[in-house]
Structure formats: C-alpha cells, structure tokens
Chain A
Amino acid sequence: MFSPEVEAMPRPQIEQIRDEKLLGDIIPWAYERSGLIRETWDAAGITPKDVQSMDDFAEKVPFIDKDAIRSYRDRHDDPYGGLLCIDPADPTMRGVFSAIFSTSGTTGDPTPAPYAGRGPSMLVREFWELGTRPGDHFMHCLFTFRGPGVHETIRGIGATPVFVDHQPEDIATLLRFSRELRPTGWYTLSGPLVMMIEHTAAAIGADLAEDLAGYKGVIFAGEPIGPRARAKVEGWGLELFIQTSLGDVGAATECAEHDGCHFWEDCAYVESLDPLGTDPVGDGERGELVSTTLIDKVAPLIRYRSDDLVRVTHEPCACGRTHGRSWPLGRKGDEIVVNGVSVLPGDVWPAVESVDETSAALFQIVRTGREMDALKLRVGYASEGPHGLADLRTRVTDSVAAAIGFAPDIELVENDVLLRQGPPHKIPRVTKG
C-alpha cells in the first residue's frame, strides 16, 4: 500500500476523521461560502448549528443534485452553480485556484468544475496498487478536460507519465510507446478504446500480447466492461482494475483482490440510500450513492444524490484495507420498467456484446418514460455480418430476449453513429424516444 497507515486504519479512526472533517470543517465552511448550499439549507430551515452529529446529518441535511446545480447556474448566471467557495480575485488564491475543468457532459452541458491545489491526488494509492514504482514509465491516456491532477499524481509516485490521446488516431502510437518505453501502469482504458485497439492492431498487424507485455495493471473506467470485452483484454495479458465514479467527489477503484471498488473514507462520506426515498439501505443492498466531500473546500458537494445505483459494503477487504467498497449497478435515470420488469443497461450488455457484429456493446435504451410497454434498443454494429442486417437484427433480438425474458425492438445503426455521441470514453446509454 502507498499509505498503509491510512488505507488500513481501524474503522473507529476512519469515523473519527470523518466526523472531524465533515462536522467541524466542511459543513460550516460550505454554508458560509457556497450560494447553493446556503440557499438549500435555508430552504430546509437548518444551519450548521443544527448538525452536531452524524444522526443529525442523516436526519436534517437536505440533498442536492445535478439539476439543482444547473438550476442555480441558470438563475444566478453563475457558471459554478453556486458551489464556488473561494474568491478568484483573492490574491492569496493565486496559484491555488488555477483552472476550471468540466464534467464529461454525457447527459447534458459539461458542468464547469473549479480546480484548486497542487500536487498528487489520492489516486496515488490506486496507481501504486497497479504495481508501478518510482522510475517506471506510466501511460497517461486521457483527455484534457480532467486537468493536471492525474499527471501530478503519476509524478507523485515517482513515475514518469507518457502522454497519449484517448482517441482512435493515437492508438498506433499508444501501442508503439507501450512497446518501446514499457510503461507499467495505464490510466485509463475504456470500452471504446478496447474496440479501437482491436481495430488498429488488426490493421497494422500488431502483436498485442507483446506490445502490452510491460503493464502490471490497467485502470478501466468510463463505463462497465462486459464479460466478452474483459476476456478479450485479459487475453492481451492485461490485469484490469475497474474504477467507478464516486458521485463527482472522487473515484473508487478495485484493488488486486478485485472484490469491489475501494472509496477513500478520509476523502469522502458515502451513503447508500433508497433510490426513491431517503432511508439508508443495508450493507450490500442496492441503493443510490449519495456523496459528500471531506476534502474539497473549493467547490464542496454535500449530500449529492449521484443518480448512481450501487451496492456498498464497509466490511474490510481481503487486501487488508478497511475503507468501504462499492459495486456499480447502473444509473437510476437509465432504468426503465417494461411490463413490471426493471431493465438497466447492464442487464442487456452481455447479450449485445455476445453477438460478433455488435461485440463493442455500443447500444442505447430508447426511453420515453420510466414505465414502458416495450424495450426499444438502438444497437451499433461493426459489420452487417454474413447474412445481412435482417439476420443480424434477429440474432441480437434473440440474444437480448434470452437475457431479460422478453423480445426487444432493435434498431441497428453503424458504430460510428453512437461513438460520435461520446465523450471518447463512453456514450449516453439512454436516449429520448
């Protein structure tokens, strides 16, 4: 472990740190400075003095969500959605508040995210877990809109970043630099990138097992990975460490045990609540992830309903870490109910990718509302297959029907049609009908 004294600290100590940071620091700080938090708390009729314990927090603190941030942004002409807690004109903030990044924009306008601080992020723990050590090269394959934190984090474990674009045009270079520089860690691989690598390797005759032989671990992020894609990537000799979002306050990443994604409870307070209510769900049960930062004093999120459906446990991991773990299940807003049967993208994912021509698992649920009479899927294909589109549609329909118990209505489109709806590491999994 990079920081064993933190990563494996006893739970009472984790909770003590949480209480001190949350109740004693973040809440009063945000209430005094964040327009959105102040407005939301005032509407609920509470102040920080009313929140003296975690029981108070659970009972009294109101929620915020992405719609609340966008609403504040529009009502106040504030690009930061009422979250910014520092004054950009403050000379003491020069060099601290340095940049504005943005969310991926998968579901709408990218939300500006103020960036502050210098130095490595908590991802040092994950990058170390991959097996990268000082003096190694590290493949930094990402986009620009996430900011310099990843670069500084790679440097923070003593490694040297190798910069490559998360773009189809750069895959050949990624493979070449992997072969020539032998990076040991890689952040990030995504579903669309797997497809691009396979395509490029076939076109240039690359030996992927040889080119990628130097990696000890690769973080896979953006969306879930289906069993077929995972088998393919593992066939290249890569060990994947799945990473998932922590409701815009951070990330959660697998350790070498690959039994859930660790989230760092010295950085974030994570609740798993009834997706349709406010009660907590039990350990390991399906709930909505609600996150609160313990460290971000620039634009703190407090009780942020993420829309992400997860299972969460606080049981210690076999790796020795004591922080909680989550398993992503899908997005609440992506769920539809067809004749009483709940369907999430993850339910049809393996069925779509099991068909050769649609193995990239590029598909969208066409959603007209939460309750629907039929499941309509828009599915991307790489080729029409040996017997044409009608035959392909039949095979995809049969595969999905076998997975969920009823036949969907399938619309086939070329993969590029869906990829253009990026960002490059994922596509919207639900589209309006």
Chain B
Amino acid sequence: MANAPGYEDVQGAWGVGRVVVDGVITPWPVSQADIDDDIEAAVPQLASLGLTEGGLVLIVSLLSHAAQVFPFEQAAGRLGALYSSSDRSPFDAYRCASLIRQLRPSVVMGIDHRVLDGLEDAGRDLAEVFGPVPAVTAVDHDAHARLQAAGVDARWWLALGPASAVQPLDDDALRYDAARWWVEVDDSEGDLVVTSLTERLTPCARFRTGARGTIPEPGRLLLA
C-alpha cells in the first residue's frame, strides 16, 4: 500500500471535466471543494438505490464524466461499499457483463443505449445480464425503455449539467440535492435549468440541462 509522495503544494483545479452547453462540449473546471460537496450529495443518492455497507456499485461511465462520477465513487466508500468501473461504450459492454457476473454488484449505474447495443450485438440477453442486479440505472430514454422491456425495473441517473439526479428504488421521481442545486422549469422552452446554491469554481447560473420535466417540489423531479 505504499504510494509515491506528492508534490507538496498542489495547485489549480481538481480537474477539468465537461458539460454540454447548447450542444457544445464545454470544459468545466471543478475544485476539490466542489468534489467534496458533491460527495455529500451523492451519499444519500446511492443509499436510495439500496447500496449498503459491504455492497458494491458498478459505475458504467466514461473518463470525460469524471467530475460527475468521482463523487459517486467516493460516496460508495462513505457507505462502506466498494465500486468498480467499466466504460460506457459498446466495445466495453463485455466488461460490464463480466463484472456483473464476477462481482455481483447490488447497484449498476450508467447504462446507455450503446452499452445495450454492444451486449445485444454479442448475443447477450439483457434480462440474463441485468436480472440478478437489484438496482440498475439508465441514463437515456432508449436504454431505460429497453431495460424495462427486458423485465428490468430500471431507475434513472440523470446529468443536470454538473449536478446529478437519481431515482430511488421507492419513488417515481428523481431526487437531487435541493440544498445545493436549484432546479426550475424554463417557462419558454419547458427545459429544466439548474443553478448552484453554493460557491463553486465554475459558476452555474440557469444552466440549460437539455432535459425536460417538472418539479413537484424542491428536490424531486419528474421527467417528461
């Protein structure tokens, strides 16, 4: 468990993630304080999917999602659970299936239509792959519908720009951290827009998420 010494005076941002603004990929620097804050928000979201001490969450994502994903990885540790990873791509779908079989995660997060394409191209039965997993979250409508059609009660993991909303096992609505994020419906377009309520390295004011839905009450979100 020996690690190398680090440079003593770590400078700059925690990292440069990204968000999509009006269809354009935009670099999105985040600070260590942002990450720490997002970990606090992610802990109850993971718990709402049934992740508990001794459990394991398999997070299917891409490295470009690191600023949004890393908080969930660390949140798993806060719950006394482990995490594992595979890429959100058709080429790495075999790894997703293999790790589900080998590690028996209690939660799988981040399935999109391309992962399902990769599995089906390889002749895999979606019910067989995901059936044993107690909680599976999708990140797009196509993946959500295909998982449901396969008999998997898929939940949602929705990117709201730099924030995340997660659908618990026991709720039709997605939950986000209303103490840290203000989500509202833009009257003109019907889009969900998000504003950070805490100071962040990159200010987030009325960020257009690209998602549509309603906010029945702060902290709960119903997708259109």
Contact = CB atoms under 8 A, between A and B. Distances in A.
Interface stretch (B89-97, B154-162, B184-192, B208-216): B89-97
B64 A163 contact: yes
Interface stretch (A100-108, A342-350, A407-415): A100-108
A179 to B, nearest CB: 12
A284 interface: no
A18 to B, nearest CB: 13
Contact of B16 (A137, A155, A157): A137
B3 A79 contact: no
A158 B85 contact: no
A89 B54 CA distance: 7
B63 A164 contact: yes
A242 interface: no
Contact of A295 (B1, B14, B99): B1
B63 A166 contact: yes
Contact of A122 (B4, B82, B102): B4
Given A145-B86, A157-B7, A424 B15 contact: no
Contacts of A124: 4-7
A110 B99 contact: yes
Contacts of B9: 134, 158
A135 B9 CA distance: 10
Contact of A173 (B12, B25, B70, B98): B25
Contacts of B77: 94-95, 98
A330 interface: no
B167 interface: no
A420 B27 contact: no
A100 B73 contact: no
Given A3-B5, A119-B6, A141-B63, A110 B14 contact: no
A180 interface: yes
The residue among A94, A110, A144 with the most chain B CB atoms within 10 A of its own CB is: A144
A95 B5 CA distance: 19
B153 interface: no
Interface string A108-129: 0110100011111111110000
Contacts of B12: 135, 158-160
Contacts of A176: 25
A100 B82 contact: yes
B83 interface: yes
A155 B3 contact: no
A272 to B, nearest CB: 24
Interface in B19-70: 25, 27, 29, 54, 56, 59, 61-67, 69-70
Nearest to A267: B2
Given A98-B77, A134-B7, A155-B6, A110 B67 contact: no
Contacts of A98: 73, 76-77, 82-83
A369 interface: no
B80 interface: yes
Contacts, number: 181
Contacts of A160: 11-16, 29
B62 A167 contact: yes
A102 B62 contact: no
B17 interface: yes
B95 A161 contact: no
Nearest to A266: B2
Interface string A136-156: 010011111101100111011
A162 B87 contact: no
B69 to A, nearest CB: 8
Contacts of B99: 100, 102, 110, 112
A298 interface: yes
Contact of B59 (A109, A117, A144, A422): A144
A124 B2 CA distance: 13
A177 B13 CA distance: 16
Interface string A184-221: 00000000000000000000000000000000000000
A231 interface: no
Given A94-B80, A135-B11, A144 B6 contact: no
Contacts of A88: 54, 82
B1 A109 contact: no
B2 A295 contact: yes
10 contacts: A79-B103, A102-B95, A110-B95, A134-B11, A143-B87, A156-B10, A161-B16, A163-B17, A167-B87, A424-B91
Interface of B: 1-7, 9-18, 25, 27, 29, 54, 56, 59, 61-67, 69-70, 73, 76-77, 80, 82-87, 89, 91-92, 94-95, 98-99, 102-103
Given A95-B77, A424-B89, 16 more contacts: A102-B84, A102-B98, A110-B99, A120-B6, A135-B12, A144-B85, A148-B73, A151-B15, A151-B66, A156-B10, A158-B10, A162-B15, A162-B16, A163-B18, A173-B64, A177-B16
